[in-house]
Each structure stands twice: as C-alpha cells, then as structure tokens.
Structure 1
Amino acid sequence: MNKREQLRQKLQRQQAILAAARTAGRDMTEDETREFNALQTDIETLRPEADAEAEAERQAQIEAARTAERQRVTDITTLCRNFNVDASQYITGGQTVDQVRTAILDCMIQNGTPARTGVKVTADETDKFRAAAADGLMTRSGHTPAAPADGSRQFAGMSLRDIGIECLTRETGKSASDFMRMSADDLYTELARAFHNPSASFPAIMDTAINKSIVHAYDHAPTTFEKFTRKGTLRDFKRTDGHNYLIGGVGDLLLVPENGELKADTHKEEMLPQRKLDTYGRQFSMSRQAFINDDIGFLSEVPGMYAAKSKKQINKMVYSILYNNGQIYDGKTLFHADHKNLITSGSAPTGAAIQAMIQRMQLQDDPFGEAINLTPATIILPVGYGFAMQSIFGSPTIQTSENTQAANPLYNYRYPMEIVEDATLNILAGSGACPWFLGANREETTGIQVDYLNGQETPTFRRSETVGQLGFVWDIWLDWGISVMDYRAFVKNPGAALPTL
C-alpha cells in the first residue's frame, strides 16, 4: 500500500470518529480521542511522504508524456521522410503513427504507386544510397558529418550532375551513358520533373543535405538568450490564457488548538500574459543556373543561413523586450518603480551598482508581503563590460576611498553568477546610454519564456512549387512566441554611454 492510500485511510478513520461523536451529540470518548490523536500523528508523518510520492508520480507522468510525444514526432517524421510527405500537418494535428501510416497508404492507393522498370532497388538500399550521397555532398562542401554514412566518401568527389545521373540510372533502369550524353540543362529538366515525386532520390538527397545544414547552423548560431530565458511549448496557435500560482501565493498556516478545526485558505492566482505563437518563414530556391554551375555551396550554406537567422531573430526580440521596456501583462512597463526592479541612477558596472541590484532583487516580495528570496544568477551586459565584471567578481580585495585595501564582498560571497555579454545591446543602444540587467535563477521564477510549437526549435522546411520560377524551391519556417511572465526576475540599471573605440 502506498503512502497516499495509507494517508487516505487514516483521514477517513478520523472523519468516521468525528462523525460518530457528532451523530450521538457528544464529545469524543477518551479512547476515541486517543485514537484520533494517534491518527493525527501518523497523518503528519505520512503527509509529506504522500505529497512527495504524488509529486514523483506526476513528474514521471510528465516525463513519460514528453518521451511519448518525442517518439511520436520522431516516428512520424521518419515515416513521412521515407515517402517525401510533409510531416508538420500530422505532428501539429496530433495524429498517431498508425493514423499517419494509414493516411499515406490511402493516398498511394488513390494516386497509384510509381512504376519502376529495369533494375529493382530495395527500400533499405535506397535509404543507404540517399544517406551516403547526402553526406558526400556535405563532405564536399566542407561540412563533413560527425558520423558520415557508409559509402559517402565515393560521393564526395561527384558533382550534382553526377549524382543526378546516378539517381536516374537507379530509378529508370536505363544505362548511365543515356544520361551522360544529356546537356546539363536537359538533365536539370529531367530531374525537375521528379522534384515532387515521393519516390525520387535526387530531391530527397537534397532534402537530407538541407536538413543537416539547418540543424548544424541553428545549433551553432551565436546567441545568448537561452542563458536567461525559459523554454516552453504550445500545441496550437490559439491565444492561451496564462495562469500563475505566484511564489508565496498562499496564506500562513494557522495555529490549530487541540480538537480545533482547520480553516480553508484561497490561494492567490493572477492572470499572466496571453501566450501565443506566430509563424516566421521564407522561401529559398536553388536556381537552374546554380545546378548547371554545380553550386554545391548552396546546399551547405543558404538553408543554414536562414536557420541561423531565425535563432538570431529570437535573440534580438528577447533583448528588445529588455531594452525597449514595453508594457506587460499588468499594464505597466516591465521595469517600473512599482515593480521595484529599476535602478533610477544609471551607471557602468561597479561593485556598488551590482550590490544595489542584488539587494533590489532579493527584497522582492509575494502578494502577502513575504520575502521570496530570489537568487541572482545572471548579469546581462553589452559587449565591453565583461572584463570589468570579471575583475569585480574575481578580485579578493577592493580599493577604498581612503586608498586602502578592503575585502571584496562580491568575491567573498561567491555568488554563482553567470556573465552574459551580447552585442545586440550595443546595436540597440547606439551612441546612447546602454542598460544592463540582473537576472534571477530560472528554476525559481520564469522571467521571459520562449515558446515553440510542440517543442520544435529548429526550422521546418518542405519542397514547394512556384509557378514560373526556374529552380528547385523550398519553404522554411519556424513557429515561436515570446512572453514576459514575471517582472521580478530582472533588475535594470539604465547604464551609461558606452566608450567608443
């Protein structure tokens, strides 16, 4: 029997004892009182264990749901990739893998499966060929995968034309010489006809190479917003009403006299901003000229540039929220005197300025006026202040106004502070005063949250058909939304004008 069941039974027994006495119109007997008090002792011992057990089960359920969702997305993506089908519609629609498999099969039955003549290539061999060719293209472009597919080396020296001929030879059963006699323009026309064919290898190889480029570029984009924001997920594009059970948002526990009754409490709940996702996207193409010119750099550079741009755009939007100090969910600006998170006299970073900001954050309170004891964790700076900040925190002594050495409290306290420098603040400030910020531990409160659709952080792409455009065309997009969740997570120093170089 688990702790929660034991707790439930003891509470029920207590209620039964009380009910029996009330029904009889009497006080509890000595034996009943003794049993009631013994039960209460057991309940007080069991309650934290039961709560911990319930929390562990809740966390396990959450993790299991996350694991199942990740597996669903992976399985659907793999299944759709094999048939060159856009997976995003099924992922966002919440379909199961079996439902997606049935939908693809129904589509193939209605439209007919592609007929093949000549040499037969199994699905497994085709997948190996496509993976090797895609990794060969990446190697040739200077972006060798960490674990290249078997056989990729032989494709690293092949041109786009050569790979296209290899694809057509495998798919049609014709001799390679039949295609080698074609001009580059005629070969492009032949390959373009199959651009939207789910069984065609050449566009699938380009898709694989593009995906590798996107993932690599996004993961290595030089951004810093992840160090002081929290990541969230939304299932759709509907505006979501946020609720937040504030830190300390309940009343004090009241003294309960012997045989006294527990009084009910109502937690403090406040509306937070309405979280919402938006879609940001572009269209890019590999032109007919790029194919004829064997522009292999397109596959490795252009898609990755769009992926990196999307992440940098999120970075700029987050910093713009801090810098521009717009209105938030309570109708006031993010940094406001009423929010107790604004230093009125701006300055460059100094020990005294940092201590004032730390004190301002640590004095934040809950709706009942109780201290919430936030932990300062991040200092967010424009480029140029990092060296000074290391000196401020790293020196055991400081120079006093009397020209003597004294202990440095910031060094002695050993704050686990992360220094984050980002040139986005420099660009936003220009020649004016550049603010800098103190951020709280993200595990204690969410200051700014970046939401993604179903947790999909990297951009999605698909082949697109654009009328009147010569070339292979793709759409690329990413869904995200940014919300201020708690103003108490940041303190702002308005700063000073940055020194010019």
Structure 2
Amino acid sequence: MSPKAAAHAVAASDERWYQIYAATDSHPLEITIYGVIGWDVSAQQFINDAKASGLFEAKNIAIRLHTPGGDVMDGFAIFNILSGLSAKIDIYVDGMAASMGSVLACLPNGTLHMPENAWLMIHKPWGGSVGDADDLRDYAEFLDRNEAMLLKAYTGKTGKSEEEIKAMLKPDTWLNGAEAKEQGFVDHVIAPLKAAALLTHRTEELNMPKALQSLMGARAEGGQPPATPNAAAPVVPAAPAPTPAPVAQQSAPVTAPPSAADLQAQFKAQEQGRQAEIRDLFALAGNRHLDLMATCLGNLDTTPAQARASLLEAMGRDTTPSTPANGAHIHAGNGNIVGDSIAASIMARAGFANAEADNNYNHMTLRELARASLADRGVGVASYNPMQMVGMSFTHTSSDFGNILLDVAHKALLQGWEEAEETFQLWTKRGQLSDFKTSKRVGMGEFPSLRQVREGAEYKHITVGDTGEQIQLATYGELFGITRQAIINDDLGALIDIPMKMGMAAKATIGDLVYAVLMDNPKLSDGKALFHADHKNTTTGALSIESLDAARAMMRTQRTMTEGGKARSLNIRPAYVLTPVSLESKAKQIIGSASVPGAETNSGIENPLRNFAEVIAEPRLDGDAGTNKQWYLAAKAGSDTIEVAYLNGIDTPYIEQQQGFTSDGIATKVRIDAGVAPLDYRGLARSTGV
C-alpha cells in the first residue's frame, strides 16, 4: 500500500480521483474511483460528498474501480464507512484494482464483478523511514500492523487463512479476472471489456508496470467507463476527459497479456529507478529534509518531479514543524506515524488500551495532541490562538484528529451499551427489518400441522391470513457536542463519559419499549389484549407454588386449530419467571427449594417446580410506587413472545460527527433503529399477583 505524501508537499491538481452520481429512479447511487485514492482530496471530503449525494439513504450502490491504489488510511476510512452500509453494493473492476484499490474491492457487504481482462493486485504495505535502529524497528512494526488490517479484509472476502494470504502478499500478486475468481476474491467473472476506462492521472505517473501500461493503453487514452449512463449529474465535478479521436469500429488485435512474473519484474525495475532519482535530488540538496525524502521514497505515487517540487517547498518554508522528543519524524502509510501515536495516547488515557511505553505523545493533553496533529505533519500553527488551532485540527486535510476523537467516542458508546444492566435481551426474540415500513409477523399458531400429500398428488400452498402481528422500526437518538473549549480544557469526560452514558441510555430505551408491552397489555390483531381470558394466558394469585403451577399449566396446554377444525397442543415450556425486584428473593426461594416451602422439615414432599425456570427480576415491573405484584412466565429466548427488531440486524448504536457553524466544535449524533412488538400470546402468561 502506498503511504500518502503530506498534502502540502504534493503539486495541486484540478482532477479528482472520484466521481459520485446521485441515485435516480432507474439507477443506483454510483461511485467511480478512477485514480489515486487520497490524491489531493482527502477521504473526509470523499465521505462528505458521498453523504451529500445520499450515501446513507441509498438502497443500491454501484462502485466502479480503476485505480492503482493510494493512501492506506484514506482507503481504510472509506472501506470502514462503506462496510457499515445496509445497501446492496455491486463493485465492478473496470480495468485495475491494485494495492488499496483491491481492499475496496473486498468490501464484506459487496458483490465483486470483474472482467476476464481486468487486473487485481495485492501486496505488502510499502513505506520508508529514517532514524536509528530502534526507529526502524518501530516502523517495521507499524507496517506489520497495516498488514494485519489488509489480512482481515482479504481473508474475510476469500475465506482463505492468514498464512495463505501472506504468501500471496509477499511477491506482489497480480490476478486477472479468472484467477481472482479462482482465489475467492471475485464473485462473478464477466465478459472482457472492449470499452475503455479513463484514469484521472497519466499512467506513467502511477508507477504502473510498463507491461500493464501497455495493456491499459486504450483505457488511458480517453475511453469511458462501461457503466450504464446515469441521468443524474455528478455530485463532484471532475476535469473533463480529453475527447478521443474518431476510430474505426473494428475489434482491436488480441494480444497475450503479460505474465505475473513480467509484471513484477518491470514494476520492481521501475520502482528502483524512481527511488534512485529521488535519492540523487536530496543528495544534491546536502541530504537535508531526510524525513521528506523518506515520504517521497515510500509513496509509490510520488514522481521525481513531484519530489523536486516538494523539496523546494520544504527548503523555502519559514515554519519549522515540531517533532517528537527523540527527533524522529517517521512518515508512514497514513502520512506519518503521528495519527497512530495520538490515537494510542488517547485510547490509553480513556482506558481502552494499554499505554505504549515508547509513545512520545503519552501524557499530552487534548489541546497538545490537537496541536501535534497539525504541527507534526508540517502545518504551521504558531500564529493561531488556541481556539483557532483546535478548530483547524478538526478541519485541516492533513489532520485526522476529529476522526480519532470519533473512534474513541464510538468505543465509549459501545462499552456503555455492553455494560448496561438490562434484562430484555435474555428472553425476547431478536429480529431484523430492512426498512421502516410496517411488517407483519406470522405467529406460532399459524402453522398448526402439515397436510398429507398422497402419492402422485401435488403439494398445496399454505394460506397465511392477514392477521399477523405488526412491527415497525423507529429511530431513537440524541446529539451531543465536543467543543473546542472541552479540548482546550482537557475535558476527557466530554469525550468518554457522555457517549458511554448515551450507549447505556440507548439500551435502556429498548428495555423501556419491551417492558411497556408487558405492562401496558396492548391489543393484538384479533382485537383482544395480549393478556386476556380468551387467550388463556392470565390468572390470579400471589407468587406461590400453586399459582406458578397454574400459569405453567396454561402455557403448556396452549392450543391452535388445524384446518380440519381440530385442536393441537403446542406444548410450550416456560423458561423464565419475570418478577418485580420486590418478589425476586421469594421467587428464587420457591423455585430453588428441594421441598415445598412451608412444609414440615424432612416431610418428603418434593418441590414439583424445582428449577423449572430461571428468575429474571426487572425493576420496571415494580412500578413507580414499588408496589406492583404482577409476575409473568415467558417461553425460551427466541420464541414468539416479544420481538426486538433492528435495522438490518445492527443491534448496537451508530455514531457520526459533523462540523457545524452553530457551535465551536463538532456535533456528534448517536442513534439506533429498532422496533418492539408482541408476536404471539401463547408464549407468555401473566398473574395479577393478588
């Protein structure tokens, strides 16, 4: 993977490496990546543009790739966002998906289509560093961590082991469509492309093997992507492609594609020549700015001409960037090691990771880390006051400080969700819905029995009535802000405590909805309440062996009617006793006793309900006054009792941030999409408790 050169050190370009076309009635939202990922335009801008075009609302997305790769961290930022989408995603390799482009081709929620004459390339992370032996060992470890992320993406797509993928990464593996399908990367191999795909940068600037440049020559000279035309205008404009000269409508001569060995050899030879030219440039400059030289050497997308421009800019720059205490300034896959070190520092302070002993950013305040996210990447901040400097750390393209804070807040949110003391998930049914439309569920009584099929007779379709219980998703969420003042004041609580408590509140919201169903006793589709005498699932009596046994018998003898009008027992066994906290000890004593409570010692009267169900005490059942005596029986988890459905099965809260003009900082939104509804009365029983 090509480490990214610092944004200020790359010559500006009028061309973008992506285009985004909004969805129409007849076309999906389309994302076209035809260039170097992260080239002049950050992943954050890509994500902002994609959101503006309806990325998170789209139901169908088409991604077209023709890229030699690019920035590792920008690529993974895009990968992580796209991986979390619920839309149907189809990915097409129009010419080449190399390096970081191959990772985007391996989205776990995407279907990859690849022509026979397209190419997919995977390899180990590349980079360069300067410093002493310890610095270089640290850098090698950093590259290993990047490789671990690649392995996760590739193994998840192919099903191969890490050892198998590692063997493929080491020699820079090039695969055509058929080979990629055989190795498990591709879902569908499609016909070879006759049309041409247009790279937004000249192929000689991308350090592409010359054999592959020749193979892609027609594409690099103005062909258009073979996508179905989209009527919507692109959300992000790109420089117009050069108009191709008219050509006769005839098939091009078929040439044999180069072998993988040829591609590898030419690629390495070309890379050696590029590095030699860059080293000569810096030697003529007195071997100054060696950190910049390391960046240029490590970034496969930096040409000698670009390295020369970057060197001249660095030599004339008035502001000297601050560096860590040991003087090492290591540029790596995400531009430099600054982002990883800052993230590790904050994670350690937040208690989500162990502190790294050699991290020079340990013990820095949030304000100092915000400054380092800029200054240690070459952005001069000496003239800015603290408010301006912190604001720039959120918005500057060279800084990923905002994304680091978002990651920390997300971990805190999930920790709050996991640690919330809730009981509903122990006994309810977990489900999923794909949209916010009202859906109907079929209860356990809808299929009483199967009909006999006589020899030679046809099977008959079952008729499901229109009486299923309804369930519908709703969105629950809140906003909170991480302000510049909080960063300046080093208020880590605003970053950790608030999202953690919001995670707990999100889970509590679902619990409120579940237990409201039990206590409010809503009507079902038959027009009768969930607990109703006609449903034979309600009784009276204080908590005792007799009342528990009566409720158990009601549930065990629940019936449904067959098509012939006969009743069939469902034999539903209670698995849980749901009680107010005030009755918890009594319930455990009754159910856990070997003998009948109250009987004489050693009377020999065995408790018939011993351990017949698990006791779940829920404080919501006590009521506001704490005097409620109602208790319930519920069938085993997953039965048709009460369903808790989540949008596309995502059963944790979602968090996102946006810089706004209404506050000095970033607004953070926490939301969860869930629906709660009763499914069937037969798996539940209630006692009034008196």
TM-score under structure 2 length normalisation: 0.51
Higher relative contact order, structure no. (Cα contacts within 8 Å, ≥ 6 residues apart)? 1
Task: State the match for 1:341 in structure 2.
Answer: 537
Q: Is the 8 A contact 1:232 1:455 kept in 2?
A: yes
Tell me if structure 2 keeps the 8 A contact 1:282–1:476. Answer: yes
The answer for unaligned runs of 5 or more in structure 2 is 1-62, 64-71, 94-100, 108-199, 201-233, 240-300, 315-328
Counterpart secondary structure, 1:495: coil
Partner of 1:491: 685
Residue number in structure 2 paired with 1:185: 387
Counterpart in 2 of 1:405?
603
Is the 8 Å Cα contact of residues 341 and 487 (structure 1) preserved in structure 2? Answer: yes
The within-5 A match list for 1:207-356 is 207-244=406-443, 246=445, 249-250=448-449, 253=452, 267=462, 269-270=464-465, 271-343=467-539, 345-347=540-542, 349-356=543-550
2:378 pairs with one of 164, 167, 172: 172
Quick one: distance in 2 between partners of 1:320 and 1:80? 45
Of 120, 130, 139, 2:339 maps to: 130
- Cα offset for 1:222? 0.8
Paired position in structure 1 for 2:367: 161
Measure how far apart 1:425 and its partner are: 1.5
Amino acid aligned to 1:300 = I
1:386 counterpart (584, 602, 616): 584
User: What's the TM-score once normalised by structure 1's chain length?
Assistant: 0.69
8 Å contact from structure 1 (residues 247, 372) kept in 2: no
Matched ranges for 1:143-158 at <5 A: 143-145=351-353, 148=354, 154-158=360-364
Identity percentage of aligned residues? 22
Distance 1:98 1:388, change over 3 A: farther
The answer to whether structure 1 residue 447 and structure 2 residue 656 are counterparts is no
Read off the aligned partner of 1:395 and give its amino acid letter.
S
Paired with 2:427 and 2:358, the residues of 1 have a C-alpha distance of 40
Q: Deviations over 1:173-214 (max 9, x none)?
A: 55xxx54x75432322332443xx5x5311011011111111
What's the offset of the Cα at 1:342?
0.6
CA change 1:218–1:402 in 2 (3 A) is closer
Answer whether contact 2:73 2:333 (CA < 8 A) is retained: no
Give yes or no for contact 1:135–1:149 (8 Å, CA) kept in 2.
Answer: yes
Counterpart Cα distance in 1 of 2:341 and 2:456: 73
Structure-2 change in CA distance of 1:399 and 1:473 (3 Å): closer
Backbone CA RMSD of aligned residues: 3.7
State whether structure 2 residue 349 is matched by structure 1 residue 140: yes
In structure 2, the residue matched to 1:475 is: 669
Q: Is 2:570 aligned against 1:372?
A: yes
One-letter code of the match for 1:137? I
Query: Separation in 2 of the partners of 1:154 and 1:340?
Result: 69
* Separation in structure 2 between the aligned mates of residue 423 and residue 374 of structure 1, nearest angstrom: 26
Letter of the 1:121 partner, please give it.
H
Counterpart of 2:110 in structure 1 is none
Is 1:420 paired with 2:616? yes
Please give the alpha-carbon distance, in whole angstroms, between the structure 1 residues aligned to 2:520 and 2:629.
Answer: 11
Shift of 1:247: 6.5
Residue correspondences, number = 396
- Partners of 1:228 and 1:478 lie apart in 2 by 20
Gaps of 5+ in 1: 1-71, 73-77, 497-501
- The residue number in structure 1 matching 2:632 is 437
What's the CA shift for 1:273? 2.1
Contact 1:242–1:275 under 8 Å retained in 2: yes
Aligned partner (choices 81, 96, 105) of residue 87 of structure 1: 81
Task: Write out per-residue CA displacement over residues 125-181 of structure 1, whole angstroms, 9 at most, x where no aligned residue.
Answer: 65x65344334223323x233xx586686544110112112210233355xxx54x7
The answer as to whether partners of 2:644 and 2:676 remain within 8 angstroms in 1 is yes
CA contact (8 A) 1:230 1:450 kept: yes
Cα distance in 2 between the residues matched to 1:482 and 1:152: 49
